[in-house]
Structure 1
Amino acid sequence: MGLLANALFRTIDTARNNLVQNLVRRTNDLNLAISSVKQEDKPGLLVELWPKMTKEEKPKLLLKVWKNHLPNAYYGYDWWLPLFEEVGFFSNCGAEKPEKEVTLFRGVEPDPQYLRGMSWTPFIYLAEIAVEHKSGPARVFTTKVKPEAILAIVQGQIISKRYKGIRPYTEFIIDYRKLNLEDIREYKN
């Protein structure tokens, strides 16, 4: 494609984004607003709309943006924590906050920055799916997590090559600051 065509497509894309952003800021349907913008714009819009949200809308829309894992890497864990802390523990599947510590798993690269992440699961197979989606030398890790570190328990669906299709998942969203790096171990079958 030529330079002129590329410039034209960028101009059209920018105009579309500006139009969507203006419409989004005027709507009272906050779910529609967040659904209408590009993935990378969702976190910024979430924070912009946060003061307009009801107590009931905040966990739903926070989760909607959280599940968009692309922005998580851009914004970092410390960006998300105040939002989860303000909302308090929640679940989209009726799960209660555990009263005892739970054993959780995480598929990541063996780097302290990733080991103490926010996304954990009680199922080994889900951590293995996470490993298959990583580009680096990822492995499955495990740790015990105390109830006070659990911010949310959510369920959804994930696409897996290993299991050939869509699989359900359960994710525990954790306050990573409450995880002790020395307690996180590589999982051995």
Structure 2
Amino acid sequence: MSKQFQFKLVLLGESAVGKSSLVLRFVKDQFDDYRESTIGAAFLTQTVTLEDQTIVKFEIWDTAGQERYKAPMYYRNANCAVVVYDITQASSLEKAKSWIRELQRQADPSIVIALCGNKLDLAARRQVTQEEAKKYAEEEGLMWAETSAKTGEGVSEVFTAIAKKLPQTAPPSARGGAGRGGAAARTGVDLNKQANAGPGQNEPCNC
């Protein structure tokens, strides 16, 4: 019988970095060029089935980026967070860092955090280098990847990598609780590097 886990995932980041587009791509494999900004938060669910048939269900809270919606209620009891920045806007990485500091202060110590640079399809307008973002992620013990919600590049890999990591920090009976295995969540992981590592292309993180 396959094991099943349920985890609360929250998306954070400045407005217009593509949080809702990432979720839409992950949940429905769709992209909308004219998607309106989220007001408050949107709630969606999606499951990931791992190679060992473990089923991970994500309860996804897609939050608005505006400061007035920056409320702990959205990331309270969150098991994992995807903090998104726009690779064409250097200021959005600074905003992402402020979200990460808040998570580190306020969220559960065992939370798994992935830093995600979105809009890889606009790489010609890049303002945030991979080296800068990776260095920060390594220093803070974060997972890191670049994605394009528009093309789908890297999106499923991010959520699959998180799904692989979470059960290691959770008791088998977890129903939205990730236990206290925080140490496993504190190693910097370059998902892009692992996603492109030859035969294991679809296995970006087994950490």
Same fold (TM over 0.5): no
User: Which TM class, normalised by the smaller chain length?
Assistant: 0.3 to 0.5
Say which one has the larger Rg. Answer: 1
**Which of the two has greater helix per residue?**
1
Question: TM-score of the superposition, structure 1-length normalised?
Answer: 0.32
- Kindly indicate whether structure 1 or structure 2 has the higher relative contact order, using CA contacts under 8 Å at least 6 residues apart: 2
TM (normalized to structure 2)? 0.30
